[in-house]
Amino acid sequence: MSSRFPVVCLLAVVLGLPAWLPAAGKPGTAVSRFRQDRFAIGAFWLTFSDDERLDARFGEIAEANFTLVFGPVGGFTASNAAKHIKLCQKHDLRAIVLCRGVPDEQLPDGPACWGYRLWDEPNAKMFDQLAVRVNKLRQVRPGRLGYINLYPNYANDRQLGAAGYEEYVQRFLKTVDVDVLSMDHYPPFKPRTDGRRRYCQNLETMRKHSVSKRIPFWNYFNVMPFGPHTDPTESQIRWQIYTSLAYGAKGVIYFNYGTPKTFEFPKGGGIVRRDGTRTRHWFQARRINLALKNLGPTLMQLQSRGVFRVKPGDDPATVLAGSPVKTISRAPVDPDHDYLLGVFGHADGRRAVLLTNYRFAYTAWPTVVFDVPTGQVREVDQRTGRVRAAYDDSPDMPGLQVSLDAGEGRLFLLPAKTNVSGR
């Protein structure tokens, strides 16, 4: 980690800004950088273009508690992109638009425009070209994001154009001066093919480089059946999202909102069907996204400090040494420990812990011991977004009981760590 980080953290506390936010511009320049003003809950690949219903479509996206809409919307022209931005403005959404064949100087803009999609899953041979495009776009559209999404870590070296995934990401960040790091990863959830470990490894790569570069990272995750992937349950969708949060993601993007009509998607099954009607995933997304929106203002103030994985058979106290959680215990009738903990620093100096249930098929009911008295532990209420005293789900039992649905997480806030003298 850079030796500048403590100074950055101090400035963040004084100014009330998260430490990971990029500077407004490099020394000696007047070009402003993209600054993310809300947690990104992305709706991608809308697949509808019926102009007379577009307003209702965007209202429906907002109703499902999304915050960000990716283009194209109805086509790749500048006029389509301008319509996209205008609809996002009306419904308090943000837009990342996609135009083809439009010079950067003529790209549509507006208050709801976060930026422009430049490329999806580039080979490393394209990095120099993309660097030129990002820098030019920053000059003609200051404050807007030149958005590029990277391959996942299961792409092969030929796809990556690099000798392994770490080299691929390192070369990208060394070459292309991006304001957001992004990738897509769709873990399989099958009895004999469990992709969760690799998903976490990919998130750790994003986390590490996002902290080092002081830029946020986003990731796409799976919400529909395609190729070898089964249709995720609500708890599997929730698991993907809360796991991303534990690693410090500042945005999650559903793949897919609409249902494309291509050979890859014979079953359909996006958040809305091809005829525009809602699938069960729309209602699932609305429930999960409401919690995300309520957690969002706090999540945007957090800087990742580390991730701890408590696996079945582990001694929690040993695994969690050095974290704000001293230990976790359970009742004998409950399944063995299976947790993921994200540890963070808050811009105001406090600490934060996101405790997640690593299982997507069973609830968890741990007794959690923090390194401060329970009376000092606060929690972000996912129903309201307010910070309140940590809720004990079993007050008749000794200690703090935390009930977690399958794949769910809960966000706790703790006082800043003090030394022995209490200073």
**pLDDT for 149-192, tens place per residue?**
999 999 999 999 999 999 999 999 999 999 999 999 999 999 99
Task: Give the model's pLDDT for residue 343.
Answer: 98
Q: Which CATH architecture has domain 303-414?
A: Sandwich (2.60)
Listed in sequence order, the residues at least 6 apart from 304 whose beta carbon sits closer than 8 Å to its beta carbon are: 207, 210, 211, 247, 248, 342, 343, 344
Count the neighbouring beta carbons within 10 Å of the beta carbon of residue 306. 14
Domain ranges of the chain: 5-300, 303-414
To which CATH superfamily is domain 5-300 assigned? Glycosidases (3.20.20.80)
State how far the alpha carbon of 151 is from the alpha carbons of 160, 212, 226, in Å. 7, 20, 17
pLDDT per residue over 275-332, tens digit each? 899 999 999 999 999 999 999 999 999 999 999 999 999 999 999 999 999 999 999 9
Q: How confident is the model at residue 51 (pLDDT cuts 50, 70, 90)?
A: confident
Q: How confident is the model at residue 11 (pLDDT cuts 50, 70, 90)?
A: very low
pLDDT at residue 4 is higher than 80: no
pLDDT per residue over 365-396, tens digit each? 999 999 999 999 999 999 999 999 999 999 99
Cα(first)–Cα(last) distance of the chain, in Å?
Answer: 25
Helix, strand, coil share (%) of the chain residues, nearest 5: 30, 25, 45
Are 409 and 355 within 8 A, CB to CB? yes
Q: Is the pTM of this model over 0.75?
A: yes
